[in-house]
Amino acid sequence: MKLPATGATAPVVAPAPRARWSRVLAIVVSIVSLAAVVVWASGQPTPRFPTSVGDLSLIALGVALYAVATFARGWRWHAILRRGGVAHRPVDAYALVPVGYMGNAVLPARGGELLRMFLMAGRADARRREVLGSIVSERVLDAVTLALLFIALTFAGIAGSPLGERPAALALAGLGVGVAALALYLALRRRGRFEGFAATVRPVVKASRPLIGPAGALLGGVTLAVWLIEGTIFWLVAQSLSLDVSLAEGASVLVLTSFMSLVPSAPGYVGTFDAAVVFSLEALGVTGGQAVAYALLVRFVVFFPVTVAGLIVLVTRYGGLRQLRRRGAGGGD
């Protein structure tokens, strides 16, 4: 794509009808979810927040652990990019993770992932589709690890659900089908099948190659460690409120809220995140004003510090949104 000539007006491209309706659906889902949470919370006792030094220290520790988890995610992205043959500066892999989280908090449709793609592609020796493939690899690792955690917690009797063990059994079956389908596809590719399809998706899936083999096992282990750290954060918030929630139960709350992030919603997962937290706590027997306090505190720890950090990094290192628009206008795939 060429930049418009001086004095020319760039054409305005209207969003596709499907994209428009997806955004409308996301906003509606958030409004309905948030309204349900607000109506429920209005009938609960006044929430009590931590005030003692010890309890506030637990919140501070949760923020610090989230920084550790974010750093680990940066290392994971760097490893995926490196093994996928994308030449880049490691510092960009670490710095752009909080930028992406900031984007997910303030932009619709997980816009933070597009932020990462554009900014990394502008600084790395790679096309945008190759960078996108590395982000897709991250999401695959996250989804598989969360599914395994959900299965383990459910069959251990921790992640309580009105449907019993059926959702975990379905998740296990889905993972099995996915593995079998991948093995079949790879076998057919070795025989020369699906050449056209493979040529089309090759730039995106190139970065997914490190997920197969010993390197994939290492990346999976790091991903599991990250989710366990974040589960510990959910538990620390519960302890700061003196809630009867175990470490494993804190992890189960994390798993459900993370799955709910897949539901289309407004920026920051407004409504869906909060509804998932409240639903998870009710399954653990935690209701009333303290459930409201927990939902608000978890949202603060998980979203506020990383959003501020991402905004600072975006402005100071990458020139803010103005520079991003220039790079976007520069084209490239």
Parse the chain into domains and list their residue ranges: 54-273+292-329
Q: Which range is most confident: 12-16, 45-49, 294-298?
A: 294-298
- What is the rounded distance in angstroms from the CA atom of residue 261 to the CA atom of residue 33? 13
Which positions ≥6 away from 260 have C-beta within 8 Å? Answer: 269, 272, 273, 275, 276
Q: Please tell me the predicted confidence (pLDDT) of residue 197.
A: 67
Query: For residue 155, what pLDDT band results from cuts at 50, 70 and 90?
Result: confident
Q: Compute the average pLDDT of residues 19-42.
A: 69
Q: Please tell me the predicted confidence (pLDDT) of residue 191.
A: 76
- What is the rounded distance in angstroms from the CA atom of residue 57 to the CA atom of residue 53? 6
Q: What is the pLDDT of residues 282-321, one digit of tens each?
A: 888 888 888 989 999 999 999 999 999 999 999 999 887 6
Whether 243 and 286 have beta carbons less than 8 Å apart is answered as yes
pLDDT beyond 90 at 240: yes
The DSSP result for 45-108, as a single string, is PPP----SHHHHHHHHHHHHHHHHHHHHHHHHHHHHHHHTT-B--HHHHHHHHHHHHHHHHHSS
Lowest pLDDT segment from 48-57, 96-105, 276-285: 276-285
Whether 66 and 301 have beta carbons less than 8 Å apart is answered as yes
Q: Please tell me the predicted confidence (pLDDT) of residue 5.
A: 40
* pLDDT, greater one: 32 or 242: 242
* pLDDT, greater one: 288 or 157: 288
Query: For residue 223, what pLDDT band results from cuts at 50, 70 and 90?
Result: very high
Torsion region of 324: left, alpha or beta (phi above 0 gives left; psi -120 to 50 gives alpha): alpha
Q: Please tell me the predicted confidence (pLDDT) of residue 10.
A: 40
Q: Please tell me the predicted confidence (pLDDT) of residue 2.
A: 37
Which structure tokens are listed for 27? 């906003």
Q: Please tell me the predicted confidence (pLDDT) of residue 178.
A: 80
Q: Please tell me the predicted confidence (pLDDT) of residue 227.
A: 95
Q: What is the pLDDT of residues 159-203, one digit of tens each?
A: 655 456 777 788 888 888 887 877 776 677 777 776 766 666 666
Q: What is the pLDDT of residues 16-30, one digit of tens each?
A: 565 566 666 666 766
Q: What is the pLDDT of residues 84-130, one digit of tens each?
A: 888 899 999 999 999 999 998 888 777 889 899 999 988 887 788 88
Q: Compute the average pLDDT of residues 145-153.
A: 90
- What is the rounded distance in angstroms from the CA atom of residue 223 to the CA atom of residue 80? 12
Whether 207 and 130 have beta carbons less than 8 Å apart is answered as yes
Q: Please tell me the predicted confidence (pLDDT) of residue 157.
A: 76
Q: What is the mean pLDDT of the chain?
A: 81
Q: How many angstroms separate the Cα of 128 from the Cα of each of 115, 123, 177?
A: 11, 11, 30
